[in-house]
Chains A and B, each alone.
Chain A
């Protein structure tokens, strides 16, 4: 067996070991097919594709199960209130930055500082608040952190698709 095929097989075996029980059948099925693929590179490509497929299948299921296990009614209210607070903070930061640039046009140095202020101020507030709340109100801190991650992800996607905000 060539090194490439060993990698492919090793990858799928590792994936099989870490796959949740409800997806083990699929992981095993993908591994079994590897034996009938002729080319080594084709086998590696197969293994990589299968790993991606299993990852995409298992991560949302795992996340849903994890959230379902962790969140009871009270926690859900906590997470929801954390998200509401985060949205309010983001909205306030947005309004504040707009107002400042309106009152002091000289401060508007171009689109990038505007975006840094828009993302930077709320992110700092989110992280400080989440750290402060982590021990006593963990569910609310989780809601705030989820919002922080969402805001950063949104910003990254925005910059990736529209450039630096121009």
Chain B
């Protein structure tokens, strides 16, 4: 099954690539990307379904309910880097093209 790579999905992947090894909270990703929960969670669910994202519950502290954590799997990292690379290549060629035009 192919993953639909919308602009929002790319934003989420970029947010994970800022600190690839760190676990992230859903609300923090939402604030960093500017995506509403209704947009963010379907993306996280699709990434997790395709084993590109791993999820975990943080260890509970007394009086503080645990939160859900997310980070890219090794496959997810490869996928995200691959797409970032292809986008940057595309951007370079587009810039070069528009530069030649002007």
Contact with A along B31-43 (1 / 0, CB 8 A): 0000011111110
Partner of A32, one of B30, B37, B65: B65
Partner of B41, one of A32, A35, A53: A53
Task: Count residues on chain B whose CB falls below 8 Å from chain A CBs.
Answer: 17
- A57–B41 alpha-carbon span in the complex (Å): 9
Kindly state whether residue A30 has any CB partner on chain B within 8 Å: yes
- A30–B37 alpha-carbon span in the complex (Å): 8
Chain A residues with Cβ below 8 Å from B40 are: 49, 53
Residues of chain B in range 32-58 having any CB-CB distance to chain A below 8 Å = 36-42, 45, 55
Tell me the nearest residue of chain B to A29, going by C-beta: B68
Task: Count residues on chain A whose CB falls below 8 Å from chain B CBs.
Answer: 21
Decide if A29 touches B67 in the complex (CB within 8 Å): yes
Decide if A50 touches B38 in the complex (CB within 8 Å): yes
Kindly state whether residue B27 has any CB partner on chain A within 8 Å: yes
Kindly state whether residue B90 has any CB partner on chain A within 8 Å: no
Kindly state whether residue A26 has any CB partner on chain B within 8 Å: yes
Decide if B67 touches A36 in the complex (CB within 8 Å): yes
Decide if A50 touches B37 in the complex (CB within 8 Å): yes
Decide if A33 touches B38 in the complex (CB within 8 Å): no
Q: Give the interface centre of B25, B26, B41, B55 by most chain A CB atoms within 10 Å.
A: B41
- Chain A binding surface, main DSSP class: helix
Residues of chain A in range 22-44 having any CB-CB distance to chain B below 8 Å = 25-26, 28-30, 32-33, 35-37
Chain A residues with Cβ below 8 Å from B30 are: 46
- A54–B36 alpha-carbon span in the complex (Å): 13
CB distance from B65 to the nearest CB of A (A): 6
Decide if A50 touches B41 in the complex (CB within 8 Å): yes
Kindly state whether residue B66 has any CB partner on chain A within 8 Å: yes
A-B contact pairs, 28 of them (CB 8 A): A25-B55, A26-B45, A26-B68, A28-B68, A29-B26, A29-B67, A32-B68, A33-B26, A33-B37, A33-B67, A33-B68, A36-B25, A45-B36, A46-B36, A49-B36, A49-B37, A49-B38, A49-B39, A50-B37, A50-B38, A50-B41, A53-B38, A53-B40, A53-B42, A53-B45, A54-B41, A56-B42, A57-B41
